Copies of this chain bind each other. A is one copy, B any other.
Protein backbone atom coordinates (compact mmCIF):
# COMPACT_ATOMS: atom_id res chain seq x y z
CA UNK A 1 0.00 0.00 0.00
CA UNK A 2 1.55 3.24 -1.14
CA UNK A 3 2.31 5.90 1.47
CA UNK A 4 2.66 9.64 0.95
CA UNK A 5 5.53 11.86 2.03
CA UNK A 6 3.86 13.05 5.20
CA UNK A 7 6.29 15.93 5.54
CA UNK A 8 4.12 17.63 2.94
CA UNK A 9 1.14 17.32 5.26
CA UNK A 10 2.93 19.32 7.95
CA UNK A 11 3.32 22.35 5.66
CA UNK A 12 1.10 25.23 6.68
CA UNK A 13 -1.22 26.59 3.98
CA UNK A 14 -0.10 26.91 0.43
CA UNK A 15 2.98 28.53 -1.04
CA UNK A 16 2.93 32.19 0.02
CA UNK A 17 2.65 33.70 -3.44
CA UNK A 18 -0.10 31.28 -4.44
CA UNK A 19 -2.15 32.57 -1.52
CA UNK A 20 -1.44 36.19 -2.41
CA UNK A 21 -2.48 35.48 -6.00
CA UNK A 22 -5.68 33.73 -4.94
CA UNK A 23 -6.72 36.57 -2.62
CA UNK A 24 -6.12 39.08 -5.40
CA UNK A 25 -8.19 37.06 -7.90
CA UNK A 26 -11.02 36.73 -5.39
CA UNK A 27 -11.04 40.46 -4.73
CA UNK A 28 -10.96 41.26 -8.43
CA UNK A 29 -13.81 38.85 -9.10
CA UNK A 30 -15.91 40.51 -6.39
CA UNK A 31 -14.95 44.01 -7.60
CA UNK A 32 -14.59 43.79 -11.36
CA UNK A 33 -14.41 47.59 -11.68
CA UNK A 34 -11.38 47.92 -9.38
CA UNK A 35 -8.06 48.62 -11.05
CA UNK A 36 -5.88 46.48 -8.82
CA UNK A 37 -2.14 47.22 -8.94
CA UNK A 38 0.22 44.40 -8.02
CA UNK A 39 3.33 45.36 -6.09
CA UNK A 40 3.45 41.91 -4.55
CA UNK A 41 5.27 39.09 -6.27
CA UNK A 42 8.75 40.00 -7.46
CA UNK A 43 7.76 39.71 -11.08
CA UNK A 44 9.24 42.08 -13.62
CA UNK A 45 7.14 44.02 -16.12
CA UNK A 46 9.62 45.56 -18.58
CA UNK A 47 9.95 43.72 -21.91
CA UNK A 48 13.11 41.80 -22.74
CA UNK A 49 15.98 43.97 -23.92
CA UNK A 50 16.70 44.14 -27.69
CA UNK A 51 20.05 42.33 -27.38
CA UNK A 52 18.27 39.41 -25.72
CA UNK A 53 15.49 39.33 -28.31
CA UNK A 54 18.12 39.24 -31.07
CA UNK A 55 19.91 36.33 -29.40
CA UNK A 56 16.64 34.43 -28.98
CA UNK A 57 15.60 34.90 -32.62
CA UNK A 58 19.05 33.85 -33.80
CA UNK A 59 19.04 30.74 -31.64
CA UNK A 60 15.54 29.81 -32.82
CA UNK A 61 16.78 30.05 -36.41
CA UNK A 62 19.69 27.76 -35.55
CA UNK A 63 17.25 25.20 -34.19
CA UNK A 64 15.54 25.19 -37.59
CA UNK A 65 18.57 23.95 -39.53
CA UNK A 66 20.03 20.47 -39.26
CA UNK A 67 23.61 21.78 -39.22
CA UNK A 68 23.02 24.07 -36.24
CA UNK A 69 20.23 22.19 -34.43
CA UNK A 70 21.01 21.39 -30.80
CA UNK A 71 19.60 18.49 -28.83
CA UNK A 72 20.41 17.66 -25.22
CA UNK A 73 22.62 20.32 -23.64
CA UNK A 74 25.82 19.44 -21.77
CA UNK A 75 25.00 18.40 -18.18
CA UNK A 76 26.36 21.55 -16.54
CA UNK A 77 25.30 23.98 -19.27
CA UNK A 78 26.88 25.26 -22.48
CA UNK A 79 30.47 26.43 -22.20
CA UNK A 80 29.72 29.66 -24.08
CA UNK A 81 27.51 30.68 -21.14
CA UNK A 82 29.58 29.26 -18.29
CA UNK A 83 32.73 30.94 -19.65
CA UNK A 84 31.18 34.37 -19.85
CA UNK A 85 29.71 34.02 -16.36
CA UNK A 86 33.09 32.95 -14.93
CA UNK A 87 34.83 35.84 -16.69
CA UNK A 88 32.43 38.69 -16.01
CA UNK A 89 30.69 37.79 -12.76
CA UNK A 90 33.73 36.34 -11.05
CA UNK A 91 37.21 36.75 -12.56
CA UNK A 92 36.60 40.39 -13.53
CA UNK A 93 35.62 41.04 -9.91
CA UNK A 94 38.61 39.27 -8.42
CA UNK A 95 36.75 36.08 -7.47
CA UNK A 96 38.51 32.79 -8.09
CA UNK A 97 35.70 30.83 -9.73
CA UNK A 98 36.16 28.82 -12.91
CA UNK A 99 33.64 27.86 -15.59
CA UNK A 100 33.52 24.23 -14.51
CA UNK A 101 32.33 25.27 -11.06
CA UNK A 102 29.21 26.86 -12.58
CA UNK A 103 26.01 24.84 -13.05
CA UNK A 104 23.44 26.41 -15.36
CA UNK A 105 19.82 25.80 -14.40
CA UNK A 106 16.27 26.98 -15.00
CA UNK A 107 16.43 29.47 -12.17
CA UNK A 108 17.44 30.23 -8.62
CA UNK A 109 14.09 29.12 -7.21
CA UNK A 110 14.64 25.55 -8.37
CA UNK A 111 18.26 25.60 -7.27
CA UNK A 112 17.48 27.04 -3.85
CA UNK A 113 14.86 24.33 -3.37
CA UNK A 114 16.95 21.47 -4.78
CA UNK A 115 20.33 22.21 -3.23
CA UNK A 116 19.35 20.70 0.14
CA UNK A 117 18.99 17.28 -1.51
CA UNK A 118 22.75 16.72 -1.59
CA UNK A 119 22.90 17.06 2.20
CA UNK A 120 21.94 14.53 4.85
CA UNK A 121 18.52 14.81 6.44
CA UNK A 122 20.47 14.95 9.66
CA UNK A 123 21.56 18.59 9.26
CA UNK A 124 20.16 21.59 11.04
CA UNK A 125 19.45 24.65 8.93
CA UNK A 126 19.60 28.29 9.94
CA UNK A 127 17.63 30.91 8.05
CA UNK A 128 17.24 34.63 8.24
CA UNK A 129 13.81 35.55 9.56
CA UNK A 130 12.06 36.87 7.49
CA UNK A 131 13.33 35.33 4.27
CA UNK A 132 12.30 33.88 0.89
CA UNK A 133 10.04 30.97 1.93
CA UNK A 134 11.50 28.37 -0.43
CA UNK A 135 14.51 27.66 1.81
CA UNK A 136 12.43 26.48 4.74
CA UNK A 137 9.63 24.92 2.68
CA UNK A 138 11.99 22.75 0.64
CA UNK A 139 13.71 21.55 3.80
CA UNK A 140 10.34 20.90 5.40
CA UNK A 141 9.27 18.80 2.42
CA UNK A 142 12.45 16.77 2.77
CA UNK A 143 11.79 16.19 6.46
CA UNK A 144 14.59 18.24 7.94
CA UNK A 145 12.65 20.82 9.94
CA UNK A 146 10.87 18.88 12.70
CA UNK A 147 7.30 19.77 13.58
CA UNK A 148 5.38 22.93 12.84
CA UNK A 149 3.88 25.05 15.59
CA UNK A 150 0.87 26.93 14.29
CA UNK A 151 0.90 29.45 17.14
CA UNK A 152 4.46 30.62 16.72
CA UNK A 153 4.50 29.77 12.98
CA UNK A 154 7.90 28.14 13.40
CA UNK A 155 9.44 24.72 12.87
CA UNK A 156 10.95 22.94 15.86
CA UNK A 157 14.20 22.02 14.09
CA UNK A 158 15.07 25.29 12.35
CA UNK A 159 17.36 27.97 13.71
CA UNK A 160 15.65 31.29 13.02
CA UNK A 161 17.91 34.32 12.90
CA UNK A 162 15.66 37.33 13.49
CA UNK A 163 16.26 40.28 11.18
CA UNK A 164 14.62 43.28 12.76
CA UNK A 165 14.98 47.02 12.88
CA UNK A 166 17.25 46.52 15.91
CA UNK A 167 19.93 44.72 13.88
CA UNK A 168 19.24 46.63 10.65
CA UNK A 169 17.63 43.47 9.26
CA UNK A 170 20.96 41.63 9.15
CA UNK A 171 21.03 38.20 10.81
CA UNK A 172 23.44 37.64 13.68
CA UNK A 173 25.49 34.51 14.20
CA UNK A 174 23.16 32.21 16.14
CA UNK A 175 23.84 30.74 19.57
CA UNK A 176 23.16 27.20 18.41
CA UNK A 177 25.56 25.96 15.72
CA UNK A 178 23.85 25.24 12.39
CA UNK A 179 25.06 22.87 9.65
CA UNK A 180 23.53 24.70 6.71
CA UNK A 181 23.16 28.47 6.71
CA UNK A 182 20.92 30.22 4.19
CA UNK A 183 21.91 33.83 3.58
CA UNK A 184 20.21 36.09 1.06
CA UNK A 185 21.78 39.46 0.23
CA UNK A 186 20.48 41.81 -0.98
CA UNK A 187 17.69 40.37 1.06
CA UNK A 188 14.31 39.26 -0.09
CA UNK A 189 12.04 40.57 1.47
CA UNK A 190 13.71 43.30 3.53
CA UNK A 191 16.03 44.72 0.87
CA UNK A 192 18.78 44.81 3.51
CA UNK A 193 22.42 44.09 2.78
CA UNK A 194 25.62 43.50 4.70
CA UNK A 195 29.01 44.99 3.99
CA UNK A 196 32.06 42.96 3.10
CA UNK A 197 33.43 42.81 6.63
CA UNK A 198 30.11 41.50 7.94
CA UNK A 199 29.96 38.83 5.25
CA UNK A 200 33.57 37.87 5.98
CA UNK A 201 32.49 37.14 9.55
CA UNK A 202 29.95 34.64 8.26
CA UNK A 203 32.54 32.97 6.04
CA UNK A 204 35.02 32.73 8.91
CA UNK A 205 32.32 31.35 11.18
CA UNK A 206 31.21 28.71 8.64
CA UNK A 207 34.77 27.58 8.08
CA UNK A 208 35.33 27.40 11.83
CA UNK A 209 32.28 25.31 12.66
CA UNK A 210 32.22 23.27 9.44
CA UNK A 211 28.95 24.67 8.15
CA UNK A 212 28.01 25.33 4.53
CA UNK A 213 26.54 28.69 3.52
CA UNK A 214 23.92 28.72 0.76
CA UNK A 215 24.33 32.28 -0.49
CA UNK A 216 21.44 33.57 -2.55
CA UNK A 217 22.64 36.56 -4.56
CA UNK A 218 19.66 36.77 -6.91
CA UNK A 219 19.43 40.53 -6.44
CA UNK A 220 23.10 41.47 -6.76
CA UNK A 221 22.46 43.61 -9.87
CA UNK A 222 20.56 46.08 -7.68
CA UNK A 223 23.50 46.85 -5.38
CA UNK A 224 24.32 50.54 -5.59
CA UNK A 225 26.59 51.07 -2.59
CA UNK A 226 30.31 50.41 -2.95
CA UNK A 227 31.02 48.35 0.18
CA UNK A 228 28.30 45.77 -0.45
CA UNK A 229 29.70 42.50 -1.84
CA UNK A 230 28.21 41.21 -5.11
CA UNK A 231 29.42 37.69 -4.48
CA UNK A 232 30.35 35.74 -1.38
CA UNK A 233 33.54 34.72 -3.18
CA UNK A 234 34.81 38.26 -2.60
CA UNK A 235 35.43 36.99 0.94
CA UNK A 236 38.54 35.03 1.78
CA UNK A 237 37.86 31.39 2.48
CA UNK A 238 34.46 31.26 0.79
CA UNK A 239 35.62 28.54 -1.60
CA UNK A 240 35.69 26.07 1.28
CA UNK A 241 32.32 26.90 2.80
CA UNK A 242 29.94 28.54 0.33
CA UNK A 243 27.59 27.71 -2.52
CA UNK A 244 26.26 30.73 -4.42
CA UNK A 245 22.92 30.97 -6.24
CA UNK A 246 22.37 33.48 -9.03
CA UNK A 247 19.39 34.36 -11.16
CA UNK A 248 18.73 36.07 -14.47
CA UNK A 249 15.19 36.90 -13.39
CA UNK A 250 15.79 40.27 -11.87
CA UNK A 251 18.89 41.63 -13.63
CA UNK A 252 17.59 40.69 -17.10
CA UNK A 253 13.84 40.27 -16.69
CA UNK A 254 13.92 36.50 -17.11
CA UNK A 255 11.11 35.59 -14.69
CA UNK A 256 9.22 34.06 -17.63
CA UNK A 257 12.35 33.02 -19.51
CA UNK A 258 13.84 30.88 -16.72
CA UNK A 259 17.59 30.84 -16.28
CA UNK A 260 19.91 30.80 -13.31
CA UNK A 261 23.08 29.20 -12.09
CA UNK A 262 24.70 27.81 -9.00
CA UNK A 263 28.39 27.92 -8.10
CA UNK A 264 29.86 24.98 -6.22
CA UNK A 265 33.62 25.45 -5.80
CA UNK A 266 35.68 22.30 -6.15
CA UNK A 267 37.35 23.00 -2.80
CA UNK A 268 34.06 22.73 -0.96
CA UNK A 269 33.89 19.47 0.99
CA UNK A 270 31.71 17.93 3.64
CA UNK A 271 32.83 14.80 5.48
CA UNK A 272 35.69 14.74 2.96
CA UNK A 273 33.27 14.52 0.02
CA UNK A 274 33.41 17.18 -2.71
CA UNK A 275 29.96 18.74 -2.99
CA UNK A 276 30.71 19.61 -6.62
CA UNK A 277 30.48 15.92 -7.52
CA UNK A 278 27.22 15.44 -5.65
CA UNK A 279 25.56 18.44 -7.29
CA UNK A 280 26.86 17.29 -10.69
CA UNK A 281 25.28 13.92 -10.04
CA UNK A 282 21.97 15.50 -9.13
CA UNK A 283 22.11 17.72 -12.21
CA UNK A 284 22.89 14.74 -14.43
CA UNK A 285 20.21 12.49 -12.97
CA UNK A 286 17.28 14.73 -12.05
CA UNK A 287 17.58 17.53 -14.59
CA UNK A 288 18.17 17.85 -18.31
CA UNK A 289 19.56 21.34 -18.82
CA UNK A 290 18.14 24.74 -19.68
CA UNK A 291 16.93 25.17 -23.28
CA UNK A 292 19.64 26.02 -25.82
CA UNK A 293 17.85 29.15 -26.96
CA UNK A 294 17.50 30.35 -23.37
CA UNK A 295 21.19 29.77 -22.69
CA UNK A 296 21.98 31.92 -25.76
CA UNK A 297 19.70 34.61 -24.30
CA UNK A 298 21.74 34.33 -21.09
CA UNK A 299 24.95 34.83 -23.05
CA UNK A 300 23.51 38.04 -24.54
CA UNK A 301 23.04 39.42 -21.03
CA UNK A 302 26.85 39.70 -20.89
CA UNK A 303 27.33 41.31 -24.32
CA UNK A 304 28.23 45.03 -24.40
CA UNK A 305 24.78 45.89 -25.79
CA UNK A 306 23.02 43.63 -23.33
CA UNK A 307 24.87 45.09 -20.36
CA UNK A 308 24.10 48.64 -21.45
CA UNK A 309 20.41 47.91 -22.01
CA UNK A 310 20.00 46.03 -18.74
CA UNK A 311 21.72 48.73 -16.73
CA UNK A 312 18.91 50.98 -17.86
CA UNK A 313 16.30 48.40 -16.94
CA UNK A 314 17.69 48.06 -13.42
CA UNK A 315 17.82 51.86 -13.14
CA UNK A 316 14.16 52.02 -14.20
CA UNK A 317 13.10 49.71 -11.38
CA UNK A 318 15.35 51.44 -8.86
CA UNK A 319 13.71 54.72 -9.77
CA UNK A 320 10.41 53.06 -8.82
CA UNK A 321 11.99 51.88 -5.59
CA UNK A 322 12.98 55.42 -4.73
CA UNK A 323 9.49 56.68 -5.53
CA UNK A 324 7.91 54.12 -3.22
CA UNK A 325 10.46 54.69 -0.45
CA UNK A 326 10.14 58.48 -0.53
CA UNK A 327 6.36 58.42 -0.91
CA UNK A 328 5.78 56.08 2.01
CA UNK A 329 8.19 57.96 4.20
CA UNK A 330 6.35 61.16 3.36
CA UNK A 331 3.08 59.47 4.28
CA UNK A 332 4.48 58.65 7.69
CA UNK A 333 5.44 55.00 7.26
CA UNK A 334 8.60 53.48 8.70
CA UNK A 335 10.41 52.08 5.68
CA UNK A 336 13.72 50.47 4.76
CA UNK A 337 15.24 48.70 1.77
CA UNK A 338 15.01 50.10 -1.75
CA UNK A 339 18.64 51.24 -2.02
CA UNK A 340 20.48 48.03 -2.91
CA UNK A 341 17.39 46.02 -3.71
CA UNK A 342 14.08 46.39 -5.54
CA UNK A 343 12.14 45.74 -2.33
CA UNK A 344 10.65 48.22 0.11
CA UNK A 345 10.05 46.90 3.62
CA UNK A 346 7.60 48.80 5.76
CA UNK A 347 6.12 48.53 9.20
CA UNK A 348 2.38 48.08 9.15
CA UNK A 349 0.55 51.02 10.69
CA UNK A 350 -1.46 50.91 13.93
CA UNK A 351 -0.16 47.50 14.94
CA UNK A 352 -2.04 45.75 12.15
CA UNK A 353 -0.88 42.21 11.41
CA UNK A 354 0.72 41.72 8.03
CA UNK A 355 -2.35 39.99 6.62
CA UNK A 356 -4.68 42.63 8.11
CA UNK A 357 -2.70 45.28 6.28
CA UNK A 358 -2.74 43.15 3.11
CA UNK A 359 -6.55 43.13 3.20
CA UNK A 360 -6.75 46.79 4.19
CA UNK A 361 -4.45 47.88 1.37
CA UNK A 362 -6.25 45.74 -1.17
CA UNK A 363 -9.62 47.10 -0.11
CA UNK A 364 -8.75 50.76 0.40
CA UNK A 365 -6.04 51.34 -2.22
CA UNK A 366 -6.58 48.36 -4.54
CA UNK A 367 -2.87 47.65 -4.15
CA UNK A 368 -1.52 44.13 -3.64
CA UNK A 369 1.63 43.70 -1.57
CA UNK A 370 3.12 40.77 0.28
CA UNK A 371 2.56 40.22 4.01
CA UNK A 372 5.86 40.17 5.88
CA UNK A 373 4.69 37.33 8.11
CA UNK A 374 4.68 35.08 5.03
CA UNK A 375 8.47 35.29 5.10
CA UNK A 376 8.88 34.23 8.73
CA UNK A 377 7.63 35.10 12.21
CA UNK A 378 9.85 38.19 12.54
CA UNK A 379 8.20 39.52 9.40
CA UNK A 380 4.94 39.94 11.32
CA UNK A 381 3.79 43.58 11.35
CA UNK A 382 5.88 44.20 8.25
CA UNK A 383 4.94 44.35 4.58
CA UNK A 384 6.83 44.12 1.29
CA UNK A 385 6.29 46.24 -1.80
CA UNK A 386 8.24 45.64 -4.98
CA UNK A 387 9.63 48.10 -7.50
CA UNK A 388 9.01 45.79 -10.46
CA UNK A 389 5.81 47.45 -11.66
CA UNK A 390 5.67 50.00 -14.44
CA UNK A 391 6.55 53.55 -13.40
CA UNK A 392 2.98 54.69 -14.06
CA UNK A 393 1.46 51.95 -11.90
CA UNK A 394 4.02 52.52 -9.20
CA UNK A 395 3.23 56.22 -9.04
CA UNK A 396 -0.49 55.55 -8.97
CA UNK A 397 -0.14 52.90 -6.27
CA UNK A 398 1.98 55.16 -4.08
CA UNK A 399 -0.39 58.07 -4.57
CA UNK A 400 -3.31 55.85 -3.53
CA UNK A 401 -1.42 54.67 -0.45
CA UNK A 402 -0.61 58.26 0.47
CA UNK A 403 -4.29 59.17 0.14
CA UNK A 404 -5.40 56.15 2.18
CA UNK A 405 -6.48 56.85 5.76
CA UNK A 406 -4.57 54.82 8.30
Contact = CB atoms under 8 A, between A and B. Distances in A.
Interface of A: 1-6, 8-9, 11, 14-15, 18, 41, 43-48, 50, 53, 56-57, 60-61, 63-66, 69-73, 75, 106-107, 109-110, 113-114, 117-123, 134, 137-138, 141, 179-180, 209-212, 253, 255-258, 270-271, 273, 275, 278, 281-282, 284-294, 390
A63 B65 CA distance: 23
15 contacts: A2-B179, A2-B212, A5-B118, A5-B278, A6-B120, A8-B282, A15-B281, A15-B285, A43-B72, A46-B66, A47-B69, A48-B64, A57-B60, A106-B258, A257-B293
A3 B123 contact: yes
A286 B2 contact: no
A56 B60 contact: yes
B285 A134 contact: yes
A295 to B, nearest CB: 9
A134 to B, nearest CB: 6
Given A18-B75, A288-B110, A289-B258, A53 B63 contact: yes
Contact of A72 (B63, B110, B180, B255): B255
A133 to B, nearest CB: 8
Contacts of A14: 281, 284
A286 B113 contact: yes
A288 B258 contact: yes
Task: Among A11, A71, A271, find the residue whose CB has the most chain B CB atoms closer than 10 A.
Answer: A71
Given A106-B106, A291-B258, A286 B141 contact: yes
Given A4-B271, A257-B293, 6 more contacts: A2-B211, A50-B64, A53-B61, A71-B255, A106-B287, A256-B289
A138 B45 contact: no
A291 B278 CA distance: 27
A119 B5 CA distance: 4
A146 B41 CA distance: 42
B56 A71 contact: no
A256 B2 contact: no
Contacts of A43: 71-72
A45 B66 contact: yes
Task: Among A3, A119, A275, find the residue whose CB has the most chain B CB atoms closer than 10 A.
Answer: A3
Nearest to A213: B2
Contacts of A2: 119, 123, 179-180, 210-212, 270-271
B287 A110 contact: yes
Contacts of A210: 1-2
A122 B3 CA distance: 7
A110 to B, nearest CB: 6
A355 to B, nearest CB: 19
A212 B2 CA distance: 7
Contact of A285 (B137, B253, B290): B137
Contact of A273 (B9, B61, B64, B73): B9
Contacts of A70: 256
Given A15-B281, A66-B390, A273 B4 contact: yes
Contacts of A118: 4-5, 8
Contacts of A72: 41, 43, 255-256
Given A119-B3, A120-B4, A258-B288, A47 B64 contact: yes
A69 B41 contact: no
A293 B270 CA distance: 40
A284 to B, nearest CB: 4
A236 B300 CA distance: 51
